[in-house]
């Protein structure tokens, strides 16, 4: 890895890593995306480096853009650019794995993440997309989206946060199924709970009788 490429990645106490990034607006230029993709690809192919994603603030741009370089079902590495990515649904099931970060070189931490997520975003052509991701790619996207909110669970000073999970995750059909025991329960999957704790939503669902008999599984 050349020193020039390494200098492009912001590290440790750089203030931009703590910023909440702003959304890309219709009139915004995306010149920086080419640089973001280039750096992400360089690190993905570098010997001794496992880098599957990069967020715009990691190259000093406080905009909501991420790039992922993950293997697809055919076994080839596919580069995906996401503009204004938003995770709108998450699984109840979680998985723990070790994560690293280019902005905190040499540091590793075991982090709990949702096993699958559903994400909406814009392509470089500003075309809206929506897709479900699971496994490693879901983990990479969650890590990069954290960066857009000024967060990196690898870089903070807390111990391994294997018991930490986002309690403000949107309420999903799986949540209702776990509560009601009904295999075909229908709920509004994209209900935002950014301002309401998950347990309050669950209590409201039970009280309203959503999901049939409203019993615990």
Q: Where are the domains of the chain?
A: 3-148, 173-208
Kindly give the residue spans of alpha helices, DSSP state H, lying in 59-180. 135-148, 173-180
pLDDT of residue 172: 52
Answer yes or no: 182 catalytic.
no
Among residues 34, 144, 167, 182, the one annotated as catalytic is 144
Question: Going by CATH, does the domain composed of 3-148 fall within 3.40.190.10?
Answer: no
Q: Please give the average per-residue pLDDT across 89-117, as a whole number.
A: 94
Q: Please give the average per-residue pLDDT across 8-37, as a whole number.
A: 94
Asked if pLDDT for residue 183 goes beyond 90, the answer is no
SS3 for 135?
helix
pLDDT of residue 127: 96
Check: pTM over 0.85? Answer yes or no: no
Sign of CA dihedral 25, 121, 185, 138: negative
How many beta carbons lie within 10 A of that of residue 82, not counting itself? 25
Q: How far is CA 17 from CA 13, 69, 131, 150, 156, in A?
A: 8, 21, 27, 5, 11
Asked if pLDDT for residue 213 goes beyond 70, the answer is no
pLDDT of residue 198: 44
Q: Which long-range contacts (CB under 8 A, 24 or more apart) does 72-80 make?
A: 77/44, 79/37, 79/40, 79/41
SS (HEC) of 84-115: EEEEEEECCCEEEEEEECCCCCCCEEEEEEEC
């Amino acid at each position: 890895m050349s020193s020039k490429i390494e200098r492009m990645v912001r590290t440790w106490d750089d203030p931009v890593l703590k910023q909440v990034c702003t959304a890309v607006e219709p009139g915004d230029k995306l010149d920086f995306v080419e640089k973001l993709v280039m750096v992400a690809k360089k690190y993905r192919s570098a010997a001794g480096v496992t880098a599957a994603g990069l967020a715009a603030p990691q190259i000093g741009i406080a905009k909501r853009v991420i790039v992922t370089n993950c293997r697809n079902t055919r076994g080839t590495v596919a580069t995906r650019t996401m503009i204004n990515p938003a995770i709108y649904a998450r699984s109840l099931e979680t998985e723990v794995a070790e994560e690293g970060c280019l902005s905190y070189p040499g540091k590793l931490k075991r982090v709990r993440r949702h096993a699958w997520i559903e994400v909406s975003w814009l392509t470089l052509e500003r075309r809206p997309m929506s897709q479900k991701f699971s496994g490693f790619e879901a983990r990479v996207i969650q890590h990069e989206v954290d960066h857009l909110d000024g967060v990196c669970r690898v870089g903070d000073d807390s111990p391994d946060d294997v018991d930490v999970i986002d309690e403000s995750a949107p309420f999903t059909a799986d949540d209702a199924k776990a509560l009601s025991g009904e295999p075909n329960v229908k709920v509004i999957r994209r209900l935002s709970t950014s301002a309401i704790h998950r347990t309050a939503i669950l209590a409201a669902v039970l009280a309203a009788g959503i999901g049939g008999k409203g019993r615990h599984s």
